[in-house]
Amino acid sequence: MIEVINTSKEMSRVSDNIKKSGKNISFVPTMGALHRGHLSLISKAKKSGDAVIVSIFVNPTQFGPKEDFAKYPRNLKKDLALLKPFAPLIVFAPSAKNIYPNDFGTFVDVEDLSCKLCGEFRPGHFKGVATVVLKLFNIVKPDFAFFGKKDYQQQLLIKKMAKDLNLNIKIVTCPTIREKDGLALSSRNAYLSPVERKSASLIYKALKTAKKMAKSKNAEKIISFIKRFLAASPLIKVEYASIVKKANGAAQILIAVKIGSTRLIDNILI
Ligand SMILES: Nc1ncnc2c1ncn2[C@@H]1O[C@H](COP(=O)(O)OP(=O)(O)O)[C@@H](O)[C@H]1O
Ligand SMILES: [Mg+2]
């Protein structure tokens, strides 16, 4: 069975009962318009044998005033049909008013991380993400929470918030699921016209070629290659292409582009 819950109060009560029964909770937060990327996170959550809760909530506070909040795809019926094979499952689909009542006024700011990269182009975005994820964590009370690597900076931010605020939740990052031509699945891919969709395949091609270059070339050369490679398509505008060093000595190339009004992100380990 798929149980749909619409209020925080009811969700919290159901979560308390699951915990009392001695089960763990695995949680997959989403904004709906589900695709194979989301489903891969849910599969992973299901493997744990825990009770699995999927939230579907298009979070208004993570959209800028000129962004696509109003037109973001919403189709709960279709989403529930896609979730059917994962039953038993709990879907938490609250209204914006339920999550943000009129007198709401507390926000979470993961300093530093939230201003860089995507944060520079989407001011306030990560404040909205951190706030809603902490709220969802407090309502759902998960032991494990699953996030996709496609949103690389987001999963870093959530891990940092969990550590800084002593959340007793294990954050699990799952691999990026891609279309045949390499394009990372995203709900926003639905905005692309056929020609835009074709050019979008260049993003992952650029990243894969860049990964090969990384054996012999320095960061500056790699970034300028990516920018030149993508400039071949007049439809693509690069917001940033950046190499981020990781604690273990490896590095990640992160990229954000606009194709028409559609913003797409991707990344690869080098
Ligand atoms: N292609 C993908 N592969 C793996 N996980 C993904 C993919 N796309 C989105 N996710 C993950 O699903 C969760 C919900 O993201 P959401 O914003 O609803 O989807 P999208 O980014 O596609 O619009 C996030 O943790 C996100 O990283
Ligand atoms: Mg997203």
The alpha carbon of 217 and the centre of ligand 2 are apart by a number of angstroms equal to 32
Q: Is 79 in the pocket of ligand 1 (CB under 6 A)?
A: no
Query: For the chain, which domains are there?
Result: 2-174 (3.40.50.620), 187-269 (3.30.1300.10)
pLDDT in tens, the chain (270 residues): 999 999 999 999 999 999 999 999 999 999 999 999 999 999 999 998 899 999 999 999 999 999 999 999 999 999 999 999 999 999 999 999 999 999 999 999 999 999 999 999 999 999 999 999 999 999 999 999 999 999 999 999 999 999 999 999 999 999 999 999 999 999 999 999 999 999 999 999 999 999 999 888 899 999 999 999 999 999 999 999 999 998 888 999 999 999 999 999 999 999
Residue 241 pairs with which residues in a beta bridge? 255
> Is 188 labelled as part of a ligand binding site?
yes
- Mark whether 38 is an active-site residue: yes
Ligand 1, residues 28, 36, 38: which to mutate, most atoms within 8 A of Cβ? 38
Token pair of 26, please?
């695995």
Give the separation between CA 134 and CA 227, rounded to whole angstroms. Answer: 36
CB-based contact 113:160 (threshold 8 Å): yes
Sheet holding 89-92, edge to edge: 2-5, 89-92, 51-56, 25-30, 144-148, 170-174
Give the separation between CA 191 and CA 84, rounded to whole angstroms. Answer: 26
Nearest partner of 144 among 240, 216, 51, judged by Cα: 51
Which candidate in 38, 125, 127, 141 is catalytic?
Answer: 38
The alpha carbon of 187 and the centre of ligand 2 are apart by a number of angstroms equal to 7
Which parts of 6-99 are beta strand (E)? Answer: 25-30, 51-56, 89-92
Residue 147 pairs with which residues in a beta bridge? 173
- Of ligand 1's listed atoms, the one at least distance from the Cα of 154 is 27
Residue 29 pairs with which residues in a beta bridge? 55
CB-based contact 138:55 (threshold 8 Å): no
Strands 170-174 and 51-56: unpaired
